Structure 1
Amino acid sequence: MAGSPLTPESKLSLMKRNLQEVLGEEKLVEILKSRDIKIYWGTATTGRPHVAYFVPMSKIADFLSAGCEVTILFADLHAYLDNMKAPWELLNLRVKYYEAVIKSMLKSIGVDLGKLKFVKGTDYQLSTQYTLDVYRLSSLVTEHDARKAGAEVVKQVDHPLLSGLLLYPGLQALDEEYLKCDAQFGGVDQRKIFTYAEKYLPHLGYAKRSHLMNPMVPGLTGTKMSSSDEDSKIDMLDSPAQVKKKLKKAFCEPGNIEDNGILSFCKHVLFPLRTTAFEIKRPAEFGGDASFNSFEELEQAFAKELVHPGDLKSAVERYLNELMDPIRKEFESPELKKLVSEAYPVQKKKSGATPKISNAVESADNGIVPSRLDLRVGKILTVSQHPDAESLFVETVDLGEAEPRTVISGLVGLVPKEDLQDRLGVFLCNLKPVKMRGIESKAMLMCASLEDPRQVEPLFPPEGSAPGDRIFVEGFESGTPDDQLNPKKKVWEKLQPDLRVSEQRVAEFQGSPLMTKLGKIVTKNVKNSPIK
């Protein structure tokens, strides 16, 4: 964006927007008198990026608007050196995933990728000169300074590896020289590494750079948003149902504007990216719709309890899904789905128990995975009105067993009786049998269900399906269903919120399709709905 009409003062102001601290600002002022700033941001390719990554993405948008030349570093070697958070054999796959998801994030906020430079760390960090500089640096750095530099960033353990203690901070310092930047951008948690670089680079004959630091945005639990804390973050590929679930549990105390991850996300992502007012929609009896032209207005209204946490969460959910929808759509491609599964493969528990699935398909609740559900194709042989309940149908269903099962469905008035007769459907077969007005129901017919306007439609198995065909979620093919779901464990209740029918009328769990060996489970009419 060379030749930006902004003045040097306006450029610097835009670069500093929402930052917590700038080291070496006077150098940036001098550079801006003659040319635009060269800046780099790096990310270690460890756990999967989450929505907090929109915070640096929105600043990268600011830097580009200010005419900066921006380089994004995928720091694969750093990821390995930090206590081997990324195994060596997965480094290249993790880089590919990070590059795909970060480029998709940038596109979702309107950033022109042509104005960015993307670099992989090992493309230059394994060179002879870089390695010699690492040795030169190691001859200067004290153990005290190395430990201090990595204290806020590198994983802290009782007996740290030399890689994280010595090399990780050193590499991040040297990257400033090898990427030929004027400034490095990062979180304030990296301040000690930045001051380490300012101290030691001149000893190697290299220039001291400026440093721009974002504040640390609180996670959903009120602590730092972390890839390792499932409850604290929203993964970039989380489904709308997961987003709703996690936001519902997020810490957002009425009137409390401190350590509030919801408000912080509004300040550092939603408001900088918006060109129109931030709108909160609510019924007239609760104050009606409200709009805010600045974050300060929203913050003051929340502090005075003029905005309820539930209404704020609902607005953030709406805007967040707008940002995430194009990313989810892009990652529906077979190539990217394969990349996710390969970069974050299934991790088996040491005990040999049920494998823990990677975040690509992991349920938020430990051990609660959809393969525990006994979902099968069934054919409805007969349909009749329940003799003692006007709203219930009694169905006889062939599920590929020796004898048909009796199933009761509350579909009277919602689905015509003739539409059920002789049709194939999807049935959950391992719920505990329950008596409904004197008749025991031994399975549940799965339907897409919307409340407003009221619509209910049973799911359709693919053409050619037969009674008893097993239904699974892509990515959860392995695993044996429970013989019977224990009601006290609430397995079904925990999985059900993540079952939905997509815009394309495909039945999904967390964005992955429900399938038989012949293809996907679908609806013909209802879309964007829960499955019940």
Structure 2
Amino acid sequence: MATPSTVEEKMDLITRNLQEVLGRDKLESFLKEGKDIAVYWGTATTGKPHIAYFVPMSKLADFLRAGCQVTILLADLHGYLDNMKAPWELLELRTKYYEHLIKAMLESIGVPIEKLRFIRGTDYQLSKEYTLDVYRLSSVVTEHDAKKAGAEVVKQVDHPLLSGLLYPGLQALDEEYLKVDAQFGGVDQRKIFTFAEKYMPQLGYAKRIHLMNPMVPGLTGTKMSSSEEDSKIDLLDDAAAVKRKIKRAFCEPGNIENNGVLSFVQYVLMPNMKTDLVIERKEEFGGSIGFATFEALQEAFGKGDIHPGDLKAAVTRELNKILDPIRQKFSSPELKKLTAQAYPPPPKKKGGAAKGGAGGGAAATEEIIPSRLDLRVGKIISAEKHPDADSLYLEKIDVGEEQPRTVISGLAGVVPLEDLPDRMVVMLCNLKPQKMRGIESQAMLMCACLEDPRRVEPLSPPEGSAPGDRVFFEGYENNTPDEELKPKKKVFEKIQVDLKTSEDGTAQWQDKPFQTKLGVIKAPTLKKASIR
């Protein structure tokens, strides 16, 4: 890729594929002055980076090629403050892992890194000057503004920790302490960016430029994340795993609006390719064809000229080319050791491995997090009144196992019995079985509930769901469900406090929607209701 020389070329490279730019005039003015724009991007050093990180990396590549000075903030303190997503004792190891991995990613797509620097948040965020500015900022920011600014980024709970309210202010102050002209992030950061534009001048600091990436759909068709294990491609996955996972990816023929495979081509592959993207096809289907622009590929796919299987094969081939040097670098003994230390395997519970393999999927943590719940899509095969209780139904429900489970639910009188057979529902499958009027209930049917007047509606999975489909929450990919939720520890009861439906009926834990690989789960007629 040729190095841009004119203001227009640099402007195009810096802003291409962005969804929004706040301060575009200032950016153009700086370029006309011949200034090397100083940009920073921050990432909390929490979970293991996966291929979605190539989306911001591709933009950082654009900035570097345009002659920008790029700072990557390894936000260790932010990660800890955001409801302690990363244990304090692992933060230093994870910042080292992130730095090595990000450098390997940029090198793998041929990016010059002479103007790249890494800074850890704790290198300056614990200084006297920074701490005083935190106090100064807290004297002018309202609780409402702090909570609003972090709404899309910080976990939202009914009783937020003070640390989460501080988070947006710290991110705003980073702009001044890193001495940058612009901050880059996803459009989900917009409220924090506008917060910075409002409050930084009140402390006597300059308003910065803000560059925003769109939220790119993932391989399942939802926001790209590591929440869905089958679609999460780790940067160290081998070639066979990459092929297997992309083969399973959502890529509907002709769908150009919500297609994670196509989006990955747009935001990662084609911006970093030196040649056309070649889609290999058999001669009877027209033979191989090359695309110089994403727009041409998108048009061909939309018209049905490119089969999803052929597109997936091309993405698999090109992605493995990018991942090969990363895998090679991390095959060294020192980086293998760092990876194991930064992301240690979960400890086994006392008594050894449970049924189903090493570790048995037992919880690795006592944290109260939703991934401890074994939630699955179920299909009600049959439903009848409980023989010994007028207020209970007795159901047989397929949850993707060899035999259906027997379930007792208190839906009599609130959900018509005839509405239940063949209905797709959401089941909690790892509660301890409990006898109810002489019959053992082996799972719990999840419903939205309002008390006054009493209304109950079973949660509805997306159309096309199948029994056994996993229900997950974004951001909790490294945790597996407890083998069984112990009644004395009241894990479900503590999680259930934050299970509610939103204003549009989406089922949520805090601000995280219940979702499957096909989309979000809803209670269409019950909004702002508790879930139990």
TM-score range, shorter chain: 0.5 to 0.7
Classify the secondary structure of the residue corresponding to 1:119: strand
Distance, in Å, in 2 between the alignment partners of 1:351 and 1:209 is: 53
Distance, in Å, in 1 between the alignment partners of 2:127 and 2:333 is: 35
Distance, in Å, in 1 between the alignment partners of 2:256 and 2:350 is: 44
Distance, in Å, in 1 between the alignment partners of 2:249 and 2:362 is: 24
Distance, in Å, in 1 between the alignment partners of 2:128 and 2:322 is: 42
Shift in alpha-carbon separation, 1:65–1:162, aligned structure 2, 3 A: same
How much does 1:53 deviate?
Answer: 1.1
Is residue 250 of structure 2 the alignment partner of residue 275 of structure 1? no
Classify the secondary structure of the residue corresponding to 1:146: helix
- 8 Å CA contact 2:4–2:10 kept in 1: the answer is no
How much does 1:158 deviate?
Answer: 3.6
How much does 1:244 deviate?
Answer: 1.2
Highest Rg: 1 or 2? 1
Equivalences for residues 99-138 of structure 1 within 5 A: 99-138=99-138
- 8 Å CA contact 1:346–1:357 kept in 2: the answer is no
Distance, in Å, in 1 between the alignment partners of 2:78 and 2:228 is: 21
1:455-494, Cα deviation, whole Å (9 max, x unpaired): xxxxxxxxxxxxxxxxxxxxxxxxxxxxxxxxxxxxxxxx
Is residue 37 of structure 2 the alignment partner of residue 46 of structure 1? no
How much does 1:156 deviate?
Answer: 2.7
How much does 1:216 deviate?
Answer: 1.1
1:59-78, Cα deviation, whole Å (9 max, x unpaired): 11111121111111111111
Shift in alpha-carbon separation, 1:5–1:11, aligned structure 2, 3 A: closer
How much does 1:261 deviate?
Answer: 0.7
Classify the secondary structure of the residue corresponding to 1:113: coil
Shift in alpha-carbon separation, 1:163–1:269, aligned structure 2, 3 A: same
Shift in alpha-carbon separation, 1:110–1:357, aligned structure 2, 3 A: farther
Is residue 202 of structure 2 the alignment partner of residue 203 of structure 1? yes
- 8 Å CA contact 1:173–1:196 kept in 2: the answer is yes
Distance, in Å, in 2 between the alignment partners of 1:24 and 1:71 is: 19
Shift in alpha-carbon separation, 1:30–1:148, aligned structure 2, 3 A: same
Classify the secondary structure of the residue corresponding to 1:185: strand
Which runs of 5 or more residues in structure 1 are unaligned? 360-365, 367-532
Distance, in Å, in 2 between the alignment partners of 1:12 and 1:350 is: 55
Matched to 2:56, the amino acid is P
Residue correspondences, number: 356
Distance, in Å, in 2 between the alignment partners of 1:23 and 1:351 is: 54
Matched to 2:39, the amino acid is I
Distance, in Å, in 2 between the alignment partners of 1:336 and 1:173 is: 33
Matched to 2:333, the amino acid is P
Query: TM-score when scaled to structure 1?
Result: 0.65
- 8 Å CA contact 1:225–1:232 kept in 2: the answer is no
How much does 1:226 deviate?
Answer: 1.6
Partner of 1:250: 249
- 8 Å CA contact 1:47–1:228 kept in 2: the answer is no
Distance, in Å, in 2 between the alignment partners of 1:87 and 1:193 is: 24
- 8 Å CA contact 1:345–1:357 kept in 2: the answer is no
Equivalences for residues 126-525 of structure 1 within 5 A: 126-164=126-164, 166-348=165-347, 353=354, 354-355=358-359
- 8 Å CA contact 1:21–1:212 kept in 2: the answer is yes
Which runs of 5 or more residues in structure 2 are unaligned? 365-371, 373-532
How much does 1:114 deviate?
Answer: 2.1
Query: TM-score when scaled to structure 2?
Result: 0.65
Partner of 1:79: 79
Distance, in Å, in 2 between the alignment partners of 1:250 and 1:158 is: 35
Distance, in Å, in 2 between the alignment partners of 1:33 and 1:357 is: 59
Partner of 1:376: none
Shift in alpha-carbon separation, 1:40–1:50, aligned structure 2, 3 A: same
How much does 1:159 deviate?
Answer: 3.0
How much does 1:286 deviate?
Answer: 2.4
- 8 Å CA contact 2:65–2:111 kept in 1: the answer is no
Classify the secondary structure of the residue corresponding to 2:211: strand
Shift in alpha-carbon separation, 1:259–1:351, aligned structure 2, 3 A: farther
Distance, in Å, in 1 between the alignment partners of 2:362 and 2:258 is: 31
4+ long deviations beyond 6 Å: 349-352
Matched to 1:275, the amino acid is K
